[in-house]
Amino acid sequence: MKNALILTGVWLGILVTAYAIVFWDQGIDRPLPISLLEEQEQLAEPAYVHPDRLFSASIPMGWQLEDAMSPAWMTDPNENIIVWIIASEALEFADALDAAFAQIEIGDDFTMVSSVSLPIGSWSGEDVQATYRSESSDDVVTVMARRPEGWSILLVARGPDGAINALSENLEWIWSELSIPAEELLLL
């Protein structure tokens, strides 16, 4: 009988503690986000608008935008990678890529190591993604491309392989937040 009373007391203590945790403390706090990308959904206006209003782009928090030169480019907070968003009149993927590499002076020592939906022949507008590796350094170039009506847009990111992999979520976010044509700026 004594053991039954002790066990009943222990169970009652567990139930009261669980009740206090859930209702008095309103449960556990929401875990901190692994990435700050969730916070960026509150942006009211794009950080960069193409001069011809072909597209607008937002940048991740902490990144630096340099739009004094054409094309505009951005760097991550540690300045490990550089990202360019380039509009091109070339309609074929290879031509658009060659023009982009020449415009930002990437160099010729990069070879393709992987691709997703790489177009063969005519490019009908779907997203294309390709990765190039330098033969002389640890640099990797990741290219995301899309062909709206009559022109091409490319996101080109260059940096060390580890930095590109670590910041791939940010690159995907920049690409997903790209607005074609450019969004109107909100005047408050």
More confident residue, 2 or 183: 2
Over range 142-151, report the average pLDDT: 79
Number of neighbouring beta carbons within 10 Å of residue 147: 23
Q: How many CA atoms lie within 13 A of 187 on its CB side?
A: 0
Q: Is 83 helix (H, G, I), strand (E, B) or coil?
A: strand
Q: Tokens for 49?
A: 């608008």
Q: Is the pTM of this model over 0.75?
A: no
Decide which of 6 and 72 is more confident. 6
Q: How confident is the model at residue 153 (pLDDT cuts 50, 70, 90)?
A: confident
Say how far apart CA 37 and CA 81 lie, in whole Å.
18
Q: Is the confidence at residue 188, as pLDDT, over 50?
A: no
The per-residue DSSP string of 84-102 comes to EEEEE---SHHHHHHHHHH
- Comparing 71 with 186, the larger pLDDT belongs to 71
**Encoded tokens for 108:** 């010729």
Q: What distance in Å separates the CA atoms of residue 169 and residue 117, rounded to the nearest whole number?
A: 19
Cα angle 25, 29, 30; round to 5 = 150
* 3-class SS letters over 140-165: EEEEEEECCCCCEEEEEEEEEHHHHH
Confidence grade of residue 63 (pLDDT, cut at 50, 70, 90): confident
Give the CATH fold of the 36-176 domain.
Answer: Protein Transport Mog1p; Chain A (3.40.1000)
pLDDT at 2: 81
- Rounded distance, CA 187 to CA 173, Å? 24
Task: Report domain extents, the chain.
Answer: 1-31, 36-176
